Structure 1
Amino acid sequence: MIVFERLQLGENMFQLNSGFIKWKHLFLILVLFAAPVQADELLLVNGDRLSGTVKSMDGGKLTLSTEYGGDIKIKLSSVKKIITEEPVRIHLDNGWKLKGSLTPIEGGGVRVKSAQTGQSAVVDWRRITAVNPPESNWSGSISAGGSMQSGNTDLNSITLGFETNRKTEDDRFRLRFLHNYSDEDDSVTSRNTYGSMKIDHFVKRPLYVYFAAEMLKDEFKDLNLRTILGPGVGYSLWDDAKSSLDLEAGVTYFSQDHELGVDEQWATYRLGAEYALHWSDRLKFNVESQLYPRVDDTGDYKWRNESNIKTSLGSGWALKLTNLIEYDSKPTTGIKETDVTSTLALDYDF
């Protein structure tokens, strides 16, 4: 028999033994005094509190997994404080990476405590750019556009495009393909195929190294094949949910196989820039520019500038307007210096 100590209240004495405790009463006592289940907690700007498990924070939104509502996405601007019980991986705007549990401190800061070393670091909440970012993130798009005209003039054109991207914590990979074709009154007026591949590796954010390759076939530029290969370094000036800007510099091997002219190979510098702006969830703008001046004659250069505006139609579909400018300061005899191509295509993102 299990006996609890006697308790004295004034002049009354009583004794409680296990024989008088029903199993259901014992179960109730265990439930009432059990430790509460630990969970992450968010304090919103409007004063609301949410509990669950912080899964990730990327693209300006935080994902909280809850038992009562599944995964909930919350705008980062709506979150005032965050507390996590389990360690999370966070990225800062200066490229640093930390792992630990998060607790708020006065003044809007966050304390990151490592579970392995027990050491803590205090960071400004506004400097956190990602929480538990995906180890690997594939994305891409397929686009197609065209036109047809008949009557006094028979005109046909088609544009096909494909792009895939992969992002990890330290690396970025991109592969692109673009084909344009048009004819007028049964005569081909344009036919070109462009492909590119680029690999970035962040040595320490925002600094990264890259290797880039481009190929172009265009019979109306007397190009059986143009090949551009080379490494370089890049610097990400900023990269957030609203916009990003990368600047790059490197050297390349430049080769041109002509159908009629003399084949050429030389070395060039490569100066590049890429800017992206998300005006809203439905409207995005992007521009890429590369300049290739020859090492032995900087007055001889090639320039390629591609800009596009994409507006979402919903369910992954979008309309994409692209403007491409290609300039050759010293083209082959009979070839114009500047080519401008504008296309409107239906785009599907995956």
Structure 2
Amino acid sequence: MFRKLIITTFIAILVAKSSNADEIQMSNGSRLIGELIRIEADKVIFSTPFAGTITISQDNVERITTKDPVTLMMKNGTVYRERQIIATEQTMLMKSEDMASVVFDASDIEMVNPEPWKLGEGYQWSARFSVATEAKRGNSDSDEWDLKASSAWLSLKDRYTLKGNIEFEESRGIKTEDNWYLFSKYDRFLEPGSKNYRGAKLSFEYDQFEDIDLRTVLGPHLGRQFSKTQRFKLEMELGPVWVNENYADGAKEDWVGALWFIDASTDIIGFGSTLYFDHDGILKVEEPGETILNAILGIRFPIAGGFETAFEIEYEYDGGAVEGVDKLDTTYNLRLGYSW
């Protein structure tokens, strides 16, 4: 008797909660009760009392019902604010107290409860900081550290980017590596939400052991975001640049080149990992043999709470390196970082 009472009470609680909760009806006929967090990039983020927060492919969703008003962005660009989603046996409609109802299908939804910047309100701020360090004592006595940081402010109209890194290495009290790099870039999309953009970049570089006191690179560019999904992201830029180089021996050189940039990443490996490839190069127009090439191939794994670890292989080639300095540097790094 007591056991039946507990079961009956439990079922009553579930029924009461389900009547005051969001609901998703799947294409296979099953139903999910909980809270709709958002819909974005063809993924439905839904919180359930039995499995926590889950991600569902939008293609598998037949209908959605929400208990509270939400903001919807449709695939045709129309935005509906403070609308409650009501599902019938045949279709779905958006309901508002002072607006006419709108009938639509689940496939018409681009986003639900999008972040403000995706509605043209302000910027999305993202950043990443990481460090690689090594200390050896015994047969060899050396210290090495490498700091990297990047930050971007993105809106539908434009984007600001800042990057920088510092590398230092000392062996038995003698410096063997000392360099830093600072990069800034501004991009303006040809129209809000467009994949194509134009912009300008400015960078400064110092490297004691390549005898570079200061290398300045300045120039405009055209770019395109070919793909922006988590499964595959690809962005490329191309443009002319002016390069000014001041060397440790007092020599100076100015030249014109063509700069290209490739940024690619994918989550195809799984386990929350990201495989990434960053590459840039500057072709010296008058002397192609003095081309500058940089490339980073790495894989990043999340740890917890925004912390992450990554393994990288970095290649740096300077065809115009001074005599006695290797043209190619190869570095292997195990990094620990934090991002948001």
Which TM-score bucket, shorter chain as reference?
Answer: 0.7 to 0.9
Amino acid corresponding to residue 174 of structure 1 in structure 2: T
TM-score by structure 1 length? Answer: 0.72
> 1:252 aligned to 241, 250, 253, which one?
241
1:268 maps onto 2:257 in alignment: yes
> 1:97 aligned to 77, 89, 94, which one?
77
Shift of 1:222: 0.9
Corresponding residue for residue 185 of structure 1: 172
2:151–2:162: 8 Å Cα contact kept in structure 1?
yes
Corresponding residue for residue 210 of structure 2: 221
Corresponding residue for residue 220 of structure 2: 231
Shift of 1:40: 7.0
Shift of 1:316: 2.0
Unaligned runs of 5+ in 2: 1-18, 118-122
**Shift in alpha-carbon separation, 1:244–1:51, aligned structure 2, 3 A:** same
**Shift in alpha-carbon separation, 1:338–1:112, aligned structure 2, 3 A:** farther
**Shift in alpha-carbon separation, 1:215–1:130, aligned structure 2, 3 A:** farther
Q: Mark the structure with the bigger radius of gyration.
A: 1
Looking at structure 1, the residues matched to 158 and 20 of structure 2 have their Cα atoms a distance apart, in angstroms, of: 35
**Shift in alpha-carbon separation, 1:146–1:38, aligned structure 2, 3 A:** closer
What SS class does the counterpart of residue 260 from structure 1 fall into?
coil
Looking at structure 1, the residues matched to 133 and 282 of structure 2 have their Cα atoms a distance apart, in angstroms, of: 31
Corresponding residue for residue 150 of structure 2: 163
> 2:290 aligned to 293, 296, 300, which one?
300
**Shift in alpha-carbon separation, 1:255–1:112, aligned structure 2, 3 A:** farther
Looking at structure 2, the residues matched to 123 and 172 of structure 1 have their Cα atoms a distance apart, in angstroms, of: 33
Corresponding residue for residue 58 of structure 1: 40
Amino acid corresponding to residue 199 of structure 1 in structure 2: Y
After TM superposition, list the pairs within 5 Å mapping 1:121-132 onto structure 2. Answer: 125=107, 130-132=111-113
**Shift in alpha-carbon separation, 1:145–1:255, aligned structure 2, 3 A:** same
Corresponding residue for residue 57 of structure 2: 76
After superposition, the C-alpha distances for 1:49-77 in whole angstroms (9 at most, x for unaligned) are: 457875533366434589x89x9553235
1:182–1:191: 8 Å Cα contact kept in structure 2?
yes
Q: CA RMSD in A?
A: 3.9
**Shift in alpha-carbon separation, 1:226–1:202, aligned structure 2, 3 A:** same
The farther-off stretch of 41-50 and 301-310 is 41-50
Corresponding residue for residue 42 of structure 1: 24
After superposition, the C-alpha distances for 1:261-316 in whole angstroms (9 at most, x for unaligned) are: 52122222111111011132531111111121124444432111122211122222
**Shift in alpha-carbon separation, 1:50–1:249, aligned structure 2, 3 A:** same
Looking at structure 1, the residues matched to 222 and 92 of structure 2 have their Cα atoms a distance apart, in angstroms, of: 33
What SS class does the counterpart of residue 236 from structure 2 fall into?
strand
Amino acid corresponding to residue 61 of structure 2 in structure 1: K
Count of equivalent residues: 307
The farther-off stretch of 338-347 and 196-205 is 196-205
Amino acid corresponding to residue 272 of structure 1 in structure 2: F
Shift of 1:331: 2.0
Shift of 1:251: 1.6
Shift of 1:257: 1.7
Corresponding residue for residue 7 of structure 1: none
> 1:317 aligned to 303, 307, 310, which one?
307
1:63–1:73: 8 Å Cα contact kept in structure 2?
yes
After superposition, the C-alpha distances for 1:244-273 in whole angstroms (9 at most, x for unaligned) are: 111211122212121115212222211111
What SS class does the counterpart of residue 220 from structure 1 fall into?
helix
Corresponding residue for residue 124 of structure 2: 137
Looking at structure 1, the residues matched to 291 and 103 of structure 2 have their Cα atoms a distance apart, in angstroms, of: 49
What SS class does the counterpart of residue 332 from structure 1 fall into?
coil
**Shift in alpha-carbon separation, 1:176–1:87, aligned structure 2, 3 A:** same
Shift of 1:98: 3.1
What SS class does the counterpart of residue 333 from structure 1 fall into?
coil
Identity of aligned residues (%): 21
**Shift in alpha-carbon separation, 1:75–1:188, aligned structure 2, 3 A:** same
Amino acid corresponding to residue 314 of structure 2 in structure 1: L
Looking at structure 1, the residues matched to 103 and 235 of structure 2 have their Cα atoms a distance apart, in angstroms, of: 29
TM-score by structure 2 length? Answer: 0.74
The farther-off stretch of 145-154 and 79-88 is 79-88
After superposition, the C-alpha distances for 1:119-171 in whole angstroms (9 at most, x for unaligned) are: x998993x966444321322222222211112222121111222223333343
2:62–2:106: 8 Å Cα contact kept in structure 1?
no
Shift of 1:111: 9.6
Corresponding residue for residue 329 of structure 2: 339
Shift of 1:216: 1.4
Shift of 1:41: 5.4
Amino acid corresponding to residue 161 of structure 1 in structure 2: K
Looking at structure 1, the residues matched to 230 and 310 of structure 2 have their Cα atoms a distance apart, in angstroms, of: 20
Unaligned runs of 5+ in 1: 1-36
